[in-house]
Structure 1
Amino acid sequence: MSETTPTTPQTTLERVRALPKVSLHDHLDGGLRPATIVEIASANGHRLPTSDPEELRAWFRDAADSGTLVRYLETFDHTIAVMQDAESLARVATEAVLDLAADGVVYGELRYAPEQHLQGGLSLDEVVEAVEEGMRRGEQQAAAAGTPIRVGTLVTAMRHADRGLEIAELALRHRDAGVVGFDIAGAEIGFAPSDHLAAFDRLHAENFPVTIHAGEAFGLPSIADALHPCGAERIGHGVRIVEDVSVHEGHDEHGLPNATLGRLATWVRDRGIVLELCPSSNVQTGAATSVAEHPITLLKDLGFSISVNTDNRLMSGTSLSREFALLVEEAGWNLADVERATITALSGSFLPFPDRVALASAVIRPAFA
């Protein structure tokens, strides 16, 4: 396939949608279909800003465009409210898998915090079981529709709560039933990853993969804390690693942007720590000014291991194809950049190594050839 940039945003989007993609950072409670929210809320009595699905879609996008992470997170009050029983959890999971598959995602990792779905009387294990049931159903339906996808789940602990070790044990109990990793999420400022050190120690002792939200609302200390005491294998967002990069005029002898990297940035780049970057979401929360100026392009050019992600498809009104299309149209990316980011995401995924190799050789690389 030629690297020539298509002439219109729509053709760019269509072209990218046809390519196989890998999604590492997608919140289950951030990607619901508006019609599903309306239907479940009507049944369980939860009051929404509007009962019209399209108006609700616009409300989520507008509310998330506040420019602050705290306001952005408030939109989840409505999505979480309709994910409080097993049937609803399974339905949301199935629809999320189908939506990713329809967008060309061939492997995805969906994350959610089981502790947020207990209001209807479910236990933590029942929450996980319902989500996994929905995930497997989604995979089966996607395969039947001719858009095969494989999905793993990341069980997440809320960083402001004191349940990290309990949620880590939950993840371990379900590691052979679809749970592929552990994460912490939520308000970043004032809640260091190392507050949950006992959880990370337990997971490392059991050889279980870990990614950690860091470097979005808080800067370098958050990233360093996630990497060193906590042993994160990937960083959720990590966009503020750019604060440890000083850019100068011109390019070096290798053709890379002329820049000086601090010790933390050097560590992240040289060890291939995959950054789960989410351009549109970062613009909404104020971590970046625009997709065109998002640090993802600089980090890519400097040799960092970057992946492209959606974060919350509903709140950002986006898809993985749209994120790549925006980078092509606004930041000058080409299809080689899209392929590189896709292979990087696959390499950094928590999928077993032989499966990664097979997916890269049989599905991803042939599509870009």
Structure 2
Amino acid sequence: MSESTNRNKLANFDIQALPKISLHDHLDGGLRPQTIIELADEIGYQLPASDAKSLRRWFAESADSGSLVKYLETFDVTTAVMQTKAGLTRIAREFVLDLADDGVIYGEVRWAPEQHLRAGLSLDEVVEAVQDGLEEGMQLIEERGGFIRTGQLVTAMRHADRGLEIAELAVRHRNNGVVGFDIAGAEKGFLPSRHKIAFDYLASELFPVTVHAGEADGIESIKDAIVSGRALRLGHGVRIVEDIMVSRTDRDTDLVVLGPVAEWVHDRGIALELSPSSNLQTGAIEMLGENLEDHPIDVLYDLGFKVTVNTDNRLMSATTLTRELELLVATFGYDLDDLEQFQINAAEASFQALDERLELIDMIGEGFDAARRK
């Protein structure tokens, strides 16, 4: 280890102040508890707790179940208060403000419009309401002398039959803040091929796709996300380790053999949208263990996979991107160079135009260089 790298590792640097990229962050998983309370009061919705502190604790405890299905049940509460234009706009605006406070300079905000139609809004109206909020948030940050850029990832629920309709919605708004498409929800039993018509359409429109895969299901799901979904990124993708074999040789060194799916993901630089705390909560890495040190992020990073670090759902996981990075530093001993590489990986994998990606990479370099000089 070089002297400069060692200094980086030992320095008491401020991770929150570092420029960061967020690729996997759900709108309905990042609400402020007080906002939930106020919006619920407006519509007469009964919450499991009456004050913000207790409600925040309820979300964290309920989500920490070891089951993706149980984890997803907490979203019944958040989506209940996300059914009006005003509510969606407010939540999106606060979402941006919270990202900026976390040091995020570019955030992709994923959400499923089909879950926000109960009060009579159309699919186009909910997308427009969210975009209004994102733009208001970006404007507020700019007025405060800061910088943040956002993009919507319009998501279809994989267990429903609206994939093509939602794909068409995403493309329809590609010039109004929508930068990509995703499918989410219960993964096991609902392969991406279920929405192959939607993915074929998106490919014909040259529209980028990320797919939730390798979280609650294994290699078959990841392979289908690549083949049927033409995924440029994998939402989580943590179970790619099931296609990696490590054995000890006679010389007491590790021999690593990548299976065909892992090799494809590795060699083509398909980004893994890893979310360490969430992956523990949902049981995504239960085959490896129950603690952060059991998470395969370090192995995947060492092997050269395009690793990115994300929050998934800040409310449910009681986390921020800063906290996720701090946990990784404490667990795996990462230094500034490592954290910078995670951000560069994310910027390169973002669904932005090349010039904008290069701009983000420059901002990351400048921010980390400034931290090194302190």
Sort the TM-score into its range (normalised by shorter chain). over 0.9
Describe the SS at the equivalent of 2:136: helix
Equivalences for 1:323-338 in 2 at 5 Å? 323-338=324-339
Structure 1 unaligned runs (5+)?
none
Give the aligned residue type for 1:226: A
Q: 1:55, 1:114 → 2: CA distance?
A: 28
1:287 corresponds, among 256, 260, 284, to: 284
Describe the SS at the equivalent of 1:190: coil
Describe the SS at the equivalent of 2:154: strand
Q: 1:342, 1:251 → 2: CA distance?
A: 38
Structure 2 unaligned runs (5+)?
370-374
Equivalences for 1:93-242 in 2 at 5 Å? 93-242=92-241
Deviations 1:293-319 (A, max 9, x none): 211110000000010000000000000
Report the alpha carbon displacement of residue 176 of structure 1 after superposing the two structures with TM.
Answer: 0.2
Q: 1:340, 1:257 → 2: CA distance?
A: 24
Q: 1:104, 1:249 → 2: CA distance?
A: 41
Q: 2:234, 2:31 → 1: CA distance?
A: 24
Q: Tell me the equivalent position of 2:364.
A: 364
Deviations 1:165-210 (A, max 9, x none): 0000000110000000000000001111010000001011011010
Q: Is the 8 A contact 2:9 2:334 kept in 1?
A: no
Give the aligned residue type for 1:105: V
Q: Is the 8 A contact 1:5 1:328 kept in 2?
A: no
1:3 corresponds, among 5, 8, 12, to: 8
Equivalences for 1:16-55 in 2 at 5 Å? 16-55=15-54
Deviations 1:84-117 (A, max 9, x none): 0000000000000000001000001000000000
Report the alpha carbon displacement of residue 346 of structure 1 after superposing the two structures with TM.
Answer: 0.3
Q: Is the 8 A contact 1:293 1:331 kept in 2?
A: no
Give the aligned residue type for 2:367: A
Report the alpha carbon displacement of residue 145 of structure 1 after superposing the two structures with TM.
Answer: 2.0
Q: TM-score, normalised by structure 2?
A: 0.93
Q: 1:146, 1:296 → 2: CA distance?
A: 35
Q: 1:126, 1:37 → 2: CA distance?
A: 21
Q: Tell me the equivalent position of 2:372.
A: none
Give the aligned residue type for 1:261: L
Q: TM-score, normalised by structure 1?
A: 0.95
Q: 2:46, 2:146 → 1: CA distance?
A: 35
The farther-off stretch of 136-145 and 32-41 is: 136-145
Q: Is the 8 A contact 1:251 1:257 kept in 2?
A: no
Q: Is the 8 A contact 2:158 2:187 kept in 1?
A: yes
The farther-off stretch of 108-117 and 331-340 is: 331-340
Q: Is the 8 A contact 2:9 2:333 kept in 1?
A: no
Report the alpha carbon displacement of residue 250 of structure 1 after superposing the two structures with TM.
Answer: 8.0
Q: Residue 263 in 1 paired to residue 264 in 2? A: no
Describe the SS at the equivalent of 2:10: coil
1:276 corresponds, among 264, 273, 277, to: 273
Q: 2:254, 2:312 → 1: CA distance?
A: 28
Q: 2:192, 2:134 → 1: CA distance?
A: 28
Report the alpha carbon displacement of residue 5 of structure 1 after superposing the two structures with TM.
Answer: 3.2
Q: Is the 8 A contact 1:251 1:258 kept in 2?
A: no
Report the alpha carbon displacement of residue 249 of structure 1 after superposing the two structures with TM.
Answer: 4.0
Give the aligned residue type for 1:340: Q
**Paired residues, number:** 359
Q: 2:249, 2:144 → 1: CA distance?
A: 49
Q: Tell me the equivalent position of 2:297.
A: 296
Alpha carbons of structure 1 residues 346 and 29: separation in structure 2 relative to 1, 3 Å:
same
Describe the SS at the equivalent of 1:313: coil
Describe the SS at the equivalent of 2:293: coil
Q: 1:322, 1:5 → 2: CA distance?
A: 18
Give the aligned residue type for 2:313: N
Report the alpha carbon displacement of residue 257 of structure 1 after superposing the two structures with TM.
Answer: 5.9
Deviations 1:130-176 (A, max 9, x none): 00000000100111223310000000000000000000000011000
Give the aligned residue type for 2:269: G
Q: 2:298, 2:343 → 1: CA distance?
A: 14
Report the alpha carbon displacement of residue 229 of structure 1 after superposing the two structures with TM.
Answer: 2.1
Q: Percent identity?
A: 58
